[in-house]
Amino acid sequence: MLIALLALFSLLIAYVLHHVLSHQTLLLKQIFSQTIFNTVQLARLVGPLDPYDPLAVPNPIPDSNSASKISEAQALAAQRIDYARSIVDFSYAGPKVELEDRLRLRALANSRLVAAFGINTSLTSSSVSVHKKFRKLASASINKSRADWQKLYGVCMEFLHCEKARYGRTGISLAECVRCLCFVVVLVSQFGVDDKKVDKNLVKQITDEINAQWLKSKEDGEAVKTSDSLNHDLGMLFGNLKTSVAEENGTGKDTSIDPNEALGLIMPQYETLWRVVLLTYVTAYYTQYGKRSLKKRVKDIPSCLGNAATEKEALKLAMEGLRLYPSNNSIYRAATGPEPLKSANVQACHRDFDVWGRDALEFRPERFDNLTPLQEKAYFPFSLGSHKCPAFGGFGNRMVAMLVVSMGRALSPEIGKLNFEDAQLDNHVGIILPTGRDEMENWSWDMVRV
């Protein structure tokens, strides 16, 4: 009997020890896990910036209760912004820089574009007469009525439906698709061509060649030469098209146009559009933004475009896209001293945490409901001063919004799937996208049942 009681007591002690030790082990595991989590969060704040981590920030944000620290951080941010703005508006070169000198400083910084494309425009020439002619043609072509926006939207949807019918089951190359779409829309908008008569295969060749030339010019601006095949294809395209070049009063006259002159007019619109459109479309419809709020914001496109009373909310989609993904990440000017170039980092101003807050890398169109004075100063997607892009003042935002929404409706998440072909991008939700033109080539959209 005594032995039986001892055995029972031993079993009871063993059970209690097992329970206590198990609980302690679980507790230790929880403590260990929490320590690892806290370490990771700390590393995000003090370690190097991980572009694939949406929570990562380059510098710790000062405590909101420390007004002096916040003021100091914003004062430093204001200095960075002032420096960038001084390069963009040419004030770095002196208090009063004449037009010819401004054109020269810009042309020297863009000389690689002359070597790569043979274009002679306001962006690449120091000639005042060339500058004025270019501005006249560019400004006339952007005066669009509400009916014009309806027509351009129809062009977009027709193009995308053809792409979907042709490649939707096997995969649409998004970079190629957006390049061709933007090129065709610019042809219709700038030259009044009939989109149904545009050879889409020729457009693909031309946009591929422009992209290749651009990359070559970035790698070695001195060694790059104009492309004979690009010039040949442009001649073929415009030789088969009836064009209507805009006059200053907004009317048009049918005329033939030199391919090199055409490329000079196309490039500023086309090249500043396609990457913004692609990146904003992917971000808004796939990686960051809420579907319900997005549909509500853009529900009146295209009918609202051109109507200041009804387009305001829709255009914030484009404004936020241009903030996160400006057409030009940096703007360059020739230096007045020994250094070769001056560079204004537009993207850094648009993403500065001390200006835009901890959500600076998040896609939030509603932030434009109420910008602070510092945010307004930090935002200049269309350049500054007398050399602002002609698209400033509404046209650029309308064009981006229309193209993005066209993409979102034709190639929507409800009927297709986006593939990055990149493990880091595919596995991160809410990520800020890479902006290099050669970093988007593998992205595709596949029609699937979802």
Q: What's the rounded mean pLDDT across residues 198-208?
A: 95
Question: What is the pTM for the complete model shown?
Answer: 0.82
Assign residue 435 a region (left: φ > 0; alpha: ψ between -120 and 50; beta: otherwise).
alpha
pLDDT of residue 393: 86
pLDDT band at 96 (very low <50, low <70, confident <90, very high): very high
pLDDT of residue 255: 52
Q: Between the CA of residue 152 and those of 29, 190, 244, 342, 405, what are the distances in Å?
A: 60, 11, 16, 38, 12
Residues 6+ positions from 15 with CB-CB distance below 8 Å: none
- Cα separation, 29 vs 327, in Å, equals 49
Q: List pLDDT tens digits, range 277-321.
A: 999 999 999 988 777 789 899 999 999 999 999 999 999 999 999
Which pair of tokens denotes residue 145?
Answer: 């009525």
Q: Is the pLDDT of residue 57 over 90?
A: no
pLDDT of residue 65: 53
112-125 burial string, b = 16+ CB within 10 Å, else e?
bbbbbbbbbbbbbb
3-class DSSP string for the chain: CHHHHHHHHHHHHHHHHHHHHHHHHHHHHHHHHHHHHHHHHHHHHHCCCCCCCCCCCCCCCCCCCCHHHHHHHHHHHHHHHHHHHHHHCCHHHCCCCCHHHHHHHHHHHCHHHHHHHCCCCCCCCCCHHHHHHHHHHHHHHCCCCHHHHHHHHHHHHHHHHHHHHHHCCCCEEHHHHHHHHHHHHHHHHHHCCCHHHCCHHHHHHHHHHHHHHHHHHHHCCCCCCCCHHHHHHHHHHHHCCCEEEECCCCCEEEECCCHHHHHHHHHHHHHHHHHHHHHHHHHHHHHCCCHHHHHHHHCCCCCCCCCCCCCHHHHHHHHHHHHHCCCCCEEEEECCCCCCEEEEEHHHHHHCHHHHCCCCCCCCHHHHHCCCHHHHHHCCCCCCHHHCCCCCCCHHHHHHHHHHHHHHHHCCCCCEEEECCCHHHHCCCCCCCCCCHHHCCCCEEEECCC
pLDDT of residue 42: 37
pLDDT of residue 253: 52
Strand partners, 343: 332
pLDDT band at 47 (very low <50, low <70, confident <90, very high): very low
Residues 6+ positions from 233 with CB-CB distance below 8 Å: 202, 205, 206, 209
pLDDT of residue 25: 44
- Cα separation, 272 vs 269, in Å, equals 5
Q: What's the rounded mean pLDDT across residues 380-387?
A: 93
pLDDT band at 87 (very low <50, low <70, confident <90, very high): very high
Q: Angle of helix 395-410 relative to helix 291-298, nearest 10 degrees?
A: 130
Pick the range with the lowest mean pLDDT from 169-173, 242-246, 283-287.
Answer: 242-246
- Cα separation, 60 vs 70, in Å, equals 11
Q: Measure the N-to-C terminal CA separation of the chain; round to a whole number of Å.
A: 70
Which pair of tokens denotes residue 143?
Answer: 């005066």
More confident residue, 264 or 48: 264
Residues 6+ positions from 16 with CB-CB distance below 8 Å: none
Kindly report the backbone phi and psi dihedral angles of residue 261, in degrees, each rounded to the nearest multiple of 5, phi listed first: -65, -40
Pick the range with the lowest mean pLDDT from 242-256, 404-418, 434-448.
Answer: 242-256
pLDDT of residue 70: 67
- Cα separation, 172 vs 404, in Å, equals 16
